[in-house]
Chains A and B, each alone.
Chain A
Amino acid sequence: MRTETLRRGTRFSVILLLCAAALLSAFGQAASASTLTVRVLDVGQGDSIFVCFPEGGTMLVDAGTAEAGPKVVEMLRSLEAEKVDIIVATHPHSDHIGGMLAVLDAFPVGKVWDSGYVHGTRTQQIFLEAVRDRKIRFGRPKAGFSEEFQGVLIEVLAPVKPISGTNSDANNNSIVLRLSFGEVSFLLTADMETEQRRTVLRFPETTVLKVAHHGSHNGTDARFLAMLRPKLAIISCGEENPYGHPHREAVALLEEAGVDLFTTIGGDVVVETDGSELTVRKVLESEKSGQEKERLYIGNRSSRVFHTSACDGLPSDRNRVYFKSAEEAVKAGYRPCGRCVR
């Protein structure tokens, strides 16, 4: 366990608990009352952030790729989530909304906030149809919109206005959120790039920054960091991704700014706060809760085939049965999937 007081922090002592086995027993428990927990999930190359509010409410900001969707669902279940109060689809790229269908299938959802950017993929269409068919309240909040939820102020800082003609208009029309709880704040920047960043006149100081666009060079600049003065930054990206994320320019800027930097490579990054102090820990994939390990193999009641949890051919929730081992699945009369079970 490592404890350090941050350079510019006045009251914030950040306790960095790196893979602390002692805390893993608390992994599966929902956040305690008066605690805000922001968990940046390891979904490979993509984004998914699960927020537990002080009174037990929940918000999911993005859901990773379609392949990551079942993993997001399993994670939420392991955290004993029974519903998602707010889903935010920051923008329609598949590494952000691909997993939404799995989440909508698994949990009741209070409402959906969407960027409103028309991309046109089947992934976007199917997501919106699923929201419509389930009659979920739906909105496209813009800069200036805010809502107080269970003691946490949720503010939308972007989109300020529609942006077009950029290298990635979808990224540059992202929903950018700020969460404030007591003296602690989080800036969730989605895949905002330079053009969208310039439309926001002023970014308030922020304790924790979810670095924009997976740590791309176009998601961060020195002026932006000088405004934010973050104490902690988290980059969500996959290991050895084809884009080279995080880019060294972005990492260098964060290091020069003296920010403590975490990535989701190999595990979730979990930040808890009581509104005054922060606790940060990284939970490695290999050290996740027993509950999740017990769900290593997933059988299909209909086809009697079993898969690993990472398989892209997992059955729908209603057809699922879980096994602790391949042997157990075979004994139960299931046969292994030819693609994922070796």
Chain B
Amino acid sequence: MREVRSVRAFIDSIHEGVARVLLGDDESLAVEMPLDWLPEGAAAGKALRVLWEIDEEETFCARKAVEDLYDELGDMP
């Protein structure tokens, strides 16, 4: 079973489509992101819950994409 962890977050401000979100219980990490990454109803002063889980499928695909590029590029220093 996949473990999911959650982190508290808080929308500090929104300016010109950019949201400044404070992460963690102590709000020690500030991240700016496009407002449309956040769910509908997101507004300054709203609390968020961020859920994290490992995406093995995407990990595999991402590595495969890079491996394929290495194959294409060859090796001729």
Measuring CB to CB, which residues of chain A are less than 8 angstroms from any residue of chain B? 111, 113, 116, 118-122, 124-125, 128-129, 131-132, 137-141, 145, 147, 338-339
Complex: chain A residue closest to B66, CB-CB: A118
Interface string of B38-77 (1 = CB under 8 A from A): 0000000000000000000001001101110110111111
A116 to B77, CA, bound (A): 12
Interface size class of B (residues with CB under 8 A): 10 to 19
Given contacts A120-B62, A120-B66, A125-B69, contact A137 B15 (CB under 8 A): no
Contact B65 A120 (CB under 8 A): yes
Contact B76 A118 (CB under 8 A): no
Chain B residues with CB below 8 A from A125, complex form? 62, 65-66, 69
Complex: chain B residue closest to A142, CB-CB: B77
- CB within 8 A of B16: which of A113, A116, A119, A339? A339
Contact A128 B77 (CB under 8 A): no
A139 to B70, CA, bound (A): 9
A118 to B76, CA, bound (A): 18
The 4 closest A-B pairs by CB, nearest first: A139-B77, A120-B62, A141-B77, A128-B69
Contact B62 A111 (CB under 8 A): no
Chain A residues with CB below 8 A from B33, complex form? none
Contact B18 A138 (CB under 8 A): no
How many residue pairs bridge A and B at CB < 8 Å? Answer: 51
Complex: chain B residue closest to A313, CB-CB: B18
Given contacts A139-B75, A140-B77, A145-B77, contact A132 B69 (CB under 8 A): yes
A129 to B70, CA, bound (A): 10
Chain A residues with CB below 8 A from B76, complex form? 137-139
A124 to B62, CA, bound (A): 10
Contact A128 B73 (CB under 8 A): yes
Enumerate 7 A-B pairs (CB-CB under 8 Å) in ascending A order.
A118-B67, A118-B70, A120-B59, A121-B62, A125-B62, A338-B16, A339-B18
A113 to B75, CA, bound (A): 9
Chain A residues with CB below 8 A from B69, complex form? 125, 128-129, 132
A147 to B65, CA, bound (A): 30
Chain B residues with CB below 8 A from A111, complex form? 77
Contact B73 A120 (CB under 8 A): no
CB distance from B48 to the nearest CB of A (A): 22
Contact B67 A138 (CB under 8 A): no
Chain A residues with CB below 8 A from B75, complex form? 116, 138-140
Most central of A118, A338, A339 by chain B CB within 10 Å: A118
Question: Told that A128-B69, A338-B15 touch, could you supply 18 new A-B pairs with CB distance under 8 A?
Answer: A111-B77, A113-B77, A118-B63, A118-B70, A120-B62, A120-B65, A122-B62, A125-B62, A129-B69, A138-B73, A138-B74, A138-B76, A139-B74, A139-B77, A140-B70, A141-B77, A338-B16, A339-B15
Complex: chain B residue closest to A112, CB-CB: B73
